[in-house]
Amino acid sequence: MNELNNKKICWSFPSSNFSGLNGSNNPGSEHFKDDIVLSLAREICQNSLDARKDKNEPVIVEFKSFELDRNIFPGFEEFYDVILKQIEFARENYKNDDSTLNFYLNAKRILDNDKIYCLRISDFNTTGLTGSNNPISSNWMNLVKNVGVSDKSSTSGGSFGIGKFASFAFSKLYTVFYNTISVDGLMASQGVAKLSSYKKDDGDITLGVGYYGLEEKLDRIPYTFDLDPSFKRKELGTDIFILGFDNHNEQWKDKIIAAIIDNFMLSIIDNKLIVKIDGNRDISKENLKDIFLEKYEKNKNLYNEYTKNYFEILLTSNYECHKFYYSMFQENDAELTLAVDTNMKNRVAIIRNNGMKIFDKSNLPKIAFYSGILQLKGEVINSFFRKMENPQHDGWSVNRHTDEKEADKRQRELFEFIRKSIRELVETTSPESVDAEGVGEFLPDDMDIGTNEEATNESITDKIEKELEVKEINSIINKSDISYEEKNGITNSNDGLEINDGEDNVIIGGDNHNDENGGSGSITNGTTTEEGINNVIKEQLINSAKYRCFYSNGIYNFIFKTTETLNDVKLHIEISGEQTNKKTNILFAKRDKKPFNKSLKFEKNIIYLGNINPGENNKIIFKLDEKEEWSLEVKMYADKK
């Protein structure tokens, strides 16, 4: 407990006035716990970019771990006493759930150490948190005290006022200290602990949240803390000190680097952002390429699976990139960059004007292998689509917009621009690749959810009532030709293929996977020659079969019948590309025929079916060694009797 001009400085935990308990599962922090590092990196850098002071210079954000001597921990004895009371309260009142008790027991173990691990996050070339002397509404109050309040400009990133909870989710004490020197000439610091309710010595039940600062009006302290021994704030900007940060796992640095590159690659390339991470090289425009190649090769799993494609478009000359522009509210306020290559994964990154990625757009035409980057460039378009963002800022929902009908219209308009540009690019670069029957079909707009798949699962299992009958079995199967099942049932056929709704249950498991010997499945109704694949070219390509194909949860259901008897039938399955097809590997294959299913022999991209009788309905279930759903080209080879 300290004093400032006869004003007491201490920890204060306001009374709830018996209005009810607040538990340890803070709803604000829970928003960000699915991926704490990702959430922290996104929220911090977004807020710093919003507060950029000199638009000609980059914002600098620094993540630095340090050890805090508990003797320097502001109000340590008071805080320690609160943790002891929390333990006592949890033991008395939470009989069936020990999560709250365990949290405070762990907090006590942390505080019992002489040193407490902490993380300092500082920004530079920002305005700082202005209005720290305003007790109602200001940038300072909105970050430190207010809940669900945001008064940012229409083009700023944060708009929900809950992004600050990401820092608390990163703390094993749920405790954060703030520092700022702002452009309005003010300095301020304050500690905030978002704990649960407990009983004080006088019998009062607290709200749970506590503040370290002036006891009077729970006010901030009008100077800055020096919690990190190696750092003292001297210039404009803000510091966030996360107490109880677990840095025993050194991979936290690589995780933050990955999160920064995944989400702010364009900000860095445009020299809007430089990030320093605990002794690593600065992530800047000059060395982003080297850092990414080095870190990505060491641990690809830390990165979004589409980031490599975006990196290749933005920072290499490996591919010819094509620019497309669209004017929605202002001239050329949407800019799309596309590149085509068989290594690309058919995603387009949706990026704000400040260079931060919102999500990866899927449900796009599968007529080629490509990747792209769509940047919202104008102020009006950024303001409009910001109103559709979720609290994590990684997805859009038209329901969040104040004008839902207009939002739906504009989102469809934007996504159709992307599709149209893809079609135009493919037709221009390889016109012969789009002449095949059915290739020009695309997914309907009602499949467009516009969310980050990792965060909100942009569903690909919505049922599509579109079916295509193709008599030439060696034609391309487009994603739009594949009917999606809501469960395991298949829609009734109207072309003579008799399929019962709901009777086809696919179970993936066992040992039905591919291996060096061509999988563990057995040959049914026929044999194959020792020449294996090489023998295929001596057989006839069959063009007389009728087929339909369904896709559900990673499983392809291929249904066909022929008008003639075929021996030693083989299906060749390839992913269709705009110029050349891509080989794939089959993970398992079964013949689905009641009352029993039979495993089929498969090798690489070939399934061996044995003999097929005329007029017989045949259903083959198979899975590919690909995460995505692709346009397929299927060729059937066989001997004819």
User: Per-residue pLDDT tens for 176-208?
Assistant: 999 999 999 999 999 999 999 999 988 889 999
What is the per-residue pLDDT for 628? 67
Higher pLDDT, 465 or 599: 599
What is the per-residue pLDDT for 365? 86
pLDDT in tens, 18-76: 777 776 665 444 444 556 788 888 889 999 999 999 999 999 999 999 999 999 999 99
Whether 128 and 51 have beta carbons less than 8 Å apart is answered as: yes
Higher pLDDT, 582 or 412: 412
Q: What mean pLDDT comes out for the span 318-340?
A: 95
User: Cα torsion for 539, 544, 550, 551, to the nearest 10°?
Assistant: 30
- Which residues is 11 bridged to in the sheet? 212
Angstrom distance (rounded) from CA 473 to CA 520? 27
What is the per-residue pLDDT for 247? 63
The pLDDT mean for the chain works out to 79
Whether 265 and 283 have beta carbons less than 8 Å apart is answered as: no
Angstrom distance (rounded) from CA 468 to CA 448? 22
Two tokens, residue 367: 């007529």
The 3-state secondary structure of 93-134 reads HCCCCCHHHHHHHHHHHHHCCCEEEEEEEEEECECCCCCCCC
Higher pLDDT, 535 or 631: 631
Q: What mean pLDDT comes out for the span 71-93?
A: 95
What is the per-residue pLDDT for 475? 39
Sign of CA dihedral 84, 87, 91, 94: positive
What is the per-residue pLDDT for 18? 72
Residue among 227, 37, 38, 274 nearest 120 (CA):
227
Angstrom distance (rounded) from CA 111 to CA 76? 9
Type of residue found at 42: R
pLDDT in tens, 260-314: 999 999 999 999 999 999 988 999 999 999 999 999 999 999 999 999 999 999 9
What is the per-residue pLDDT for 195? 94
Whether 388 and 78 have beta carbons less than 8 Å apart is answered as: no
β-pair type (606-612, 601-603)? antiparallel
pLDDT in tens, 138-174: 899 988 988 756 554 444 444 333 456 788 888 999 9
What is the per-residue pLDDT for 17? 79
Angstrom distance (rounded) from CA 155 to CA 374? 17
Cβ neighbours for 65, distance < 8 A, ≥ 6 positions apart: 117, 118, 119, 120, 245, 247, 278
Angstrom distance (rounded) from CA 223 to CA 188? 5
Token pair 């850098």 in the structure block, residue: 45
Cβ atoms within 10 Å, residue 483 = 19
Q: φ, ψ for residue 42 (rounded to 5)?
A: -65, -45
Q: What mean pLDDT comes out for the span 570-581?
A: 74
Residue among 432, 463, 430, 434 nearest 446 (CA):
463
Listed ranges 30-34, 490-494, 513-517; the one with the highest mean pLDDT: 30-34
Q: What percent of the chain stands above pLDDT 90?
A: 50
As a residue count, the chain comes to: 641
In angstroms, how far is the first alpha carbon of the chain from the final one? 96
What is the per-residue pLDDT for 277? 94
Higher pLDDT, 91 or 617: 91
Whether 466 and 443 have beta carbons less than 8 Å apart is answered as: no
- Which residues is 375 bridged to in the sheet? 335, 351
Q: What mean pLDDT comes out for the span 497-505?
A: 30
Angstrom distance (rounded) from CA 404 to CA 387? 10
Q: With 70 as the cut, is the pLDDT of residue 450 above it?
A: no
Whether 267 and 105 have beta carbons less than 8 Å apart is answered as: no
Residue 377's pLDDT band, with cuts at 50, 70 and 90, is very high
CA 611 to chain centre: 46
Q: With 60 as the cut, is the pLDDT of residue 456 above it?
A: no
Q: What mean pLDDT comes out for the span 226-241?
A: 95
Angle 239-243-245 from CA coordinates, rounded to 5°:
105
What is the per-residue pLDDT for 331? 96
CA 428 to chain centre: 32
Residue among 179, 146, 170, 148 nearest 161 (CA):
148
Token pair 């699962």 in the structure block, residue: 457
Angstrom distance (rounded) from CA 223 to CA 232? 12
